[in-house]
Chain A
Amino acid sequence: MNPIGEKYLRKDFLPFIFCPGCGDGMIVQALAHAVDELGIRDDLVLTAGIGCSAWIAVYTHADVLKVLHGRAIPAAIGLKATKPSRKVVTVTGDGDCLAIGGNHLLHAARRNIDMTVLMVNNQIYAMTGGQVAPSTPFSAKTQTTPYGNVEKKLDGCKVAIACGATMVSRWSTAHPKQLIKAIKKGIAHKGFSYVEIVSQCPVQTGRYLLGSGSPQFNLQWIKDHCVKQEDPSKWAEVEAQGNIPIGDFLQVEQPEFMEEVAKMNRRVKEAQAKGGDR
């Protein structure tokens, strides 16, 4: 096994339950590289919900809290609130984050909580057999949309930007070096960082949406359809051609939630010490 695997994998859980060629295994490696290069293993805590992507956190040999479907973000907020020095990373999927967990994403981004969300987007609910997800393209045929999906696709990066996330990136498993850099940047960023990872799912997305269960075909599809475009005003042109814009879209510094709460507490205590109440 490679040295990063020796250092960062939970060996008693091996081998991976992932399907052959699944992108999740590549994301485990990317996360391990990022954590190793940052040197934050002792401060790191991962939260994960339910789905194939949640197992990325389980295989990583760090403190991990695996919770109910869609509730990884509130668990992460609790971990951050109890010990703000922690580096909190939530590993979630497109169903876990954009469907059942959508509201948590909205408010965590709005509050600019210092945490990192790694959202693995395989465009389907894979673990349960290939049902339509919020990220499934329009007219795609899945287990639950055998006549074609009639819903519009939800773009997690657009949601994160609209809700006030201060760092937003999207890369894919076909761009591992850029992905490692983006994960490092997200963890180091002070505020809410959202890193979306377009990942291949040969067994569900490959067979239902793309017409092939070959991992090489699926990875090539991702390489061909992920186009670097970091200006959100030009995304419509990329999407009109059936492609997915990738890149580092946004990074700004804004007041972080835990720091604002601490400031408010100090202000109130000082006022109370002077005989006032605020």
Chain B
Amino acid sequence: MLCKYVCPCDVYELGQERSDLDYLMPLVVRIENCKVCGLCELHCPDMALTVIGKQKGKEKA
């Protein structure tokens, strides 16, 4: 899980839900730590993540 590995803010953990290809997917557990650096999005080999930063608060899609 490269997103969990590259995230400098410890936002992700290993989730229990599986993808269509039967891999365990990451779970966003500490969204309040996210600094919207976008490293998780750039490092995802499957382009499965989108990082959206808003002015007030942050939202993860």
Contact = CB atoms under 8 A, between A and B. Distances in A.
B49 A26 contact: no
A23 B5 CA distance: 14
B47 A18 contact: no
A16 interface: yes
Contacts of A5: 47
Main secondary structure of the interface of A (DSSP, over half): helix
Interface residues of B, number: 18
Main secondary structure of the interface of B (DSSP, over half): loop
Contact of B42 (A9, A16, A177): A177
Given A24-B45, A26-B42, A15 B21 contact: yes
Contact of A23 (B39, B42, B45, B48): B45
B47 A28 contact: yes
Contacts of A216: 1-2, 5
A176 B50 contact: no
A20 interface: yes
B44 interface: yes
Nearest to A20: B23
Contacts of B46: 15-16, 25
Interface in A155-180: 173, 176-177
Q: How big is chain A's contact interface, by range?
A: 20 to 34
Nearest to A24: B45
A21 interface: yes
A29 B44 CA distance: 9
A219 interface: yes
A21 B45 contact: yes
A51 interface: no
Nearest to B4: A216
Contacts of B6: 219
A219 B5 contact: yes
Nearest to A8: B47
B23 A29 contact: no
A21 B42 contact: no
A239 B47 CA distance: 33
A4 interface: yes
Interface of B: 1-2, 5-6, 20-21, 23, 39, 41-50
Given A1-B48, A21-B2, A219-B6, 20 more contacts: A2-B47, A5-B47, A15-B20, A15-B21, A15-B46, A16-B45, A18-B45, A20-B23, A20-B45, A21-B45, A24-B45, A29-B42, A29-B47, A30-B42, A173-B43, A176-B42, A176-B43, A215-B2, A216-B1, A219-B2
9 contacts: A2-B48, A2-B49, A9-B47, A15-B20, A18-B45, A22-B45, A25-B44, A25-B46, A216-B5
